[in-house]
Amino acid sequence: MQNKFLKIFLISLLFALSADFAFGATLTVYPDASTGGTTVDGDVAETGTPQWCQARYPGSGDTHTDTATTIRTYHTIDETEGVTGTYRGILLFDTSDLTSGATISAAVLSVYVVSESHVPGFSSAFNVFSATPESDDDLVNEDYAAVGSTVLSDTWKASTTFAPLNWEAYTASAYNDFTLNASGISNISKTGISKFSTREWFEAQNTQDECCDVGGCFDSTNPTGYTYYSADQTGTDNDPKLVITYTPAANTTPTASSVTVSPKSNKVGYDFTFTGTWTESDAGDNVKMYICKDSSCTNCDNTSQTNCWCYSDDNVTQPTVTDTCTYTAQSSDIGNRNFYMKVCDDEPSCSVSIFGGSFLVGPATSTPLRFKGGVVLRIKNGFDSKSIRIRCL
């Protein structure tokens, strides 16, 4: 009976562990602060009066901010002119660490709301969309028009909730999480930069509201919408963040193809250069070549390099790489020496070793060659039977 319980416990444990493995790793990324980095965040806007109905959605953008500590996703309001400005957030994340073979199971984009405001009698809501800014590290005014219109999260964050609209209450002074839907997950690049925008519900509808036509219906000068912290806020505790749950690509072991040495013989104190070629199919994997002294590559691999002839620097190129490393012969090496090659990626996963051949190490200084005896040169014409002796020592 005890065994039965133990078996059930072990099976449960196995399921729990496999579930963990199935959900795999988590990648958390933030936009870079300021401009000129790998990514950027900020807001882009169309301002000027009157925008009201006819112009509140279109516009090419006439201002932007990408170094402020907050990002605006709202309308500015004038009591008589109505909507006088529309601000959209743009958030870029470097998600290239996922690599092409990863499988994304879930993703949450979060922004830390600093403030919300809305006109009395109206609500505000916002959601995440795609973006296609002109560059990855510096926003321009024209990026105002480079936003998508498909919602990438199924739930809007709102000041007032309306169930039919799939609105849920936003949280003040805290992260607000947008769980990405299938379109949102598709918007994540596994090999580069993932680009998102934030838009307020009213302008993202791209439809005219009855209220628009009468203009001046707002009795407030409050912006309608949200302000949240940008990556330029100190630290990352309040930065926009993208948390991705994924299963990493299965690793492929690199393959050692060939290795040669040049020159094939040299003296103590001189260099032997080994040239190896291998293949590594996994994008982003970092591979090193090890030139070993024995076929088992004892103490010459990713864990220890105390018994290598030499080993290469890091290589992150795929799929086929040729690299070299150099060894300076020591007096203890005199004679004929074998060499082998092994390559390891950063998993780490190592190839089998291959035999390269041998090289000959000679003494540092050659012993002078001495010939006993001599060479006799006889010159008969002009001299009378004289002879010159040349002795080579």
Sites of contact with Ca ion (CB under 5 A): 41-42, 66, 138-139, 230-233, 239, 251-252, 282, 285, 345
Q: Is residue 274 within 8 Å of residue 341, measured between CB atoms?
A: yes
Taking the complex as a whole, how short is the minimal distance between the CB of residue 43 and Ca ion, in angstroms? Answer: 9
When the beta carbons of 65 and 220 are compared against Ca ion, the nearer one is 65
Nearest to Ca ion of 233, 353 (CB atom): 233
Return the C-alpha torsion angle 372, 374, 375, 378, nearest 10.
-170
CB of 95 to Ca ion, least distance (A): 18
Single-letter residue type at 45: A
CB of 70 to Ca ion, least distance (A): 10
Q: Name which of 59 and 254 has its Cβ closer to Ca ion.
A: 254
Amino acid at 311: Y
What's the burial of 217, exposed, middle or buried (CB within 10 Å: 0-12/13-18/19+)? middle
Measure the CA–CA gap between 62 and 114, rounded to whole angstroms. 24
Tokens of residue 223, six digits = 């912006």
Q: How far is the CB of 178 from Ca ion (least distance, A)?
A: 19
CA distance 26 to 393: 77
Would you call 11 helix, strand, or coil by DSSP?
helix
Q: How far is the CB of 348 from Ca ion (least distance, A)?
A: 9
**Encoded amino acid at 333, one letter:** D
Q: Exposed/middle/buried for 29, CB within 10 Å: 0-12, 13-18, 19+?
A: buried
CB of 9 to Ca ion, least distance (A): 36
**Closer by beta carbon to Ca ion, 286 or else 305:** 286
Q: Give me 133's structure tokens.
A: 């800014």
Closer Cβ to Ca ion, 66 or 200, answer by number: 66
Closest approach of Ca ion to the CB of residue 368, in Å = 54
Q: What is the 3-state secondary structure (H, E, C) of 106-169?
A: EEEEEEEEEEEECCCCCCCEEEEEEECCCCCCCCCHHHHHCECCCCCECCEEECCCCHHHCEEE
How would DSSP label each residue in 191-241?
SSEEEEEEEEHHHHT-S--HHHHH---------EEEEEE-TTSSSSTTS-E
Question: DSSP character for 55?
Answer: H
Q: Which is nearer to Ca ion, 245 or 252 (CB)?
A: 252
Between residues 66 and 301, which has the closer beta carbon with respect to Ca ion?
66
Helix (H), strand (E) at residue 347: none
Residue 281 burial class via C-beta count within 10 angstroms: exposed 0-12, middle 13-18, buried 19 and up? middle
Q: How far is the CB of 320 from Ca ion (least distance, A)?
A: 13
Peptide bond between residue 254 and the one before it cis (omega within 30 degrees of 0): no
Cα–Cα dist 226/157, whole Å: 10
Shortest spacing between CB 349 and Ca ion, in angstroms? 6
**Closer CB to Ca ion, residue 239 or residue 333?**
239
Q: Which is nearer to Ca ion, 199 or 288 (CB)?
A: 288
